[in-house]
Amino acid sequence: MKYFIQIFGCQMNKSDAERIASLLDSLGYNAVEQKEKADFIFIVSCSVRQSAENRVYGLMSQIKKLKAQSPKLKVVLTGCMAMRKEVVKNLKDVDVFLDIKDLKTLPKLLNTKSEQAEIETYFSIKPKYESGFTAYVPIMTGCNNFCTYCIVPYVRGREESRQPQEVLNEVQCLLDNGYKEIILLGQNVNSYSPKLRTQGSGFRAEIINDFPDLLEAVATLKGDYWLRFLTSHPKDFSDKLIKVIKNNKNITEYVHLPIQAGDDTILRKMNRKYTVKHFKTLVKKIRNAIPGVSISTDIIVGFPGETKKLFESSAKTFEEIGFDMAYLNKYSARKGTKSYDLKDEVSDMEKKRRELVLTKLLRKSGLDYNKQFKGQTLEVLVGKKGKDDMWFAKTRTYKVVKFKSKKSLLGQFVKIKITKAGSFGYDCELF
């Protein structure tokens, strides 16, 4: 039997797909690269924006044709869309809707047996990592925050933290196999809360109570590697966490801190539970403690009630903070969330205009940050080969660099010299 996995959305979905693939392999299924050749198509879906759901609807119209040609083709939909009743009733060509937390029931659903040792939770399924040097390691799932625009707490459920020992075992195994970059994942990693004592030989037996404890325990594992984490909620980013980042050289100088809006009226409407003042103070503390740190953010434009005046206030905050990178999103109403019932009165054209205003500011702040590294020699991790001997790599601060080399460098740490700084990355040469 052959399977094909189509992934939409965030890194969490990529990580889920790695677990699905390993489970299917253990059932004797073979991965194929074209859906036309598959007996099973798995869709790992995303509901964060309507555009993400539309991509799944687009895929489903292709699948309808494939099913007409091969009636035995089976389709399994998992991820956020699988948990939305209004979606489920529209997707008639899906055979199984699977809550990812029930992944361990897949062998039963497919009427086969898994060779993987007892599967306790979906976290304990050993992933089939897509990369041989970068690994996403989920430490928790779900969210308790209920930002009014966000569907995640409804589709991923409440927060569930993974046992520290399981996380440490997975990372140690990755390091033993030469992995160079570990990215700890959670919808809100700062809320990690296992309340369990770490046990077992080989690791320090101590209490891991919160995210800084876990991060420090992972960061002190032996090896030559970079450690990152995604995503942090500004209300939970503690002084203890800043200290851990500062004191552990394996943790990179990169913090993704979603602001979502730069005005208190909108932040309140979004139920973000912090103020602009709190956010600015936090950024200042992080920048003071961690020299050279790069801070990126997410921000939504056109949230219901964001008048032109409130947007200007938000843009001013955005400019004052001077983010080193930002992911800009036009507000997309999600049925089932609190903000869905608010009037979405900002037109698409106006949302686009606001996005352009912020893009212009970002080009400037990104360039200001990047310029400080011109002429410097940095260590980077090579992640991708392009055409004509071009290589793409990431700095510790999560900036993209490109350079030419005839050598085979994929997955290696190399030294480069920055020759040109742009708003979103650098040109450089191999040192």
Please give the residue ranges that form the binding site for ligand SF4 (CB under 6 A).
Answer: 143, 145-147, 150, 152-153, 187-188, 233
Residue 163: closest CA among 209, 219, 107: 209
Examine residue 134 and say whether the peptide bond preceding it is cis (omega within 30 degrees of 0). Answer: no
State in angstroms the smallest separation of the CB of 227 from ligand SF4: 21
Do the beta carbons of residue 219 and residue 262 sit within 8 Å? no
Do the beta carbons of residue 1 and residue 109 sit within 8 Å? no
State in angstroms the smallest separation of the CB of 160 from ligand SF4: 13
Burial of 348 (0-12, 13-18, 19+ CB in 10 A): exposed
State in angstroms the smallest separation of the CB of 152 from ligand SF4: 4
Instruction: Give the type of residue at 310.
Output: L
Mapping DSSP to helix (H, G, I), strand (E, B) and coil, where does residue 277 land?
A: helix
Q: Would you tell me how many other CB atoms lie within 10 Å of the CB of residue 263?
A: 22
Q: What is the layout of strands, in order, in the sheet containing 74-79?
A: 30-31, 2-7, 40-45, 74-79, 96-97
Cβ proximity to ligand SF4: between 19 and 256 the closer is: 256
Do the beta carbons of residue 44 and residue 17 sit within 8 Å? yes
State in angstroms the smallest separation of the CB of 154 from ligand SF4: 9
Residue 187: closest CA among 149, 157, 230: 230
Mapping DSSP to helix (H, G, I), strand (E, B) and coil, where does residue 233 land?
A: coil
Q: What is the layout of strands, in order, in the sheet containing 294-301?
A: 254-256, 294-301, 325-330
Q: Which residues pair with 228 in a beta bridge?
A: 183
Among all chains, which residue has been given the structure tokens 């903000």? 339
Burial letters 94-103, b for 16+ CB under 10 A, else e: beebbebbeb
State in angstroms the smallest separation of the CB of 298 from ligand SF4: 8
Q: The tokens of 426 are what? A: 């650098």
- How far apart are the C-alpha atoms of 92 and 416, rounded to whole Å? 52
Q: The tokens of 78 are what? A: 């998992």
Do the beta carbons of residue 252 and residue 396 sit within 8 Å? yes
Q: At what angle do helices 276-289 and 308-321 cross, to 10 degrees?
A: 10
Do the beta carbons of residue 249 and residue 225 sit within 8 Å? no
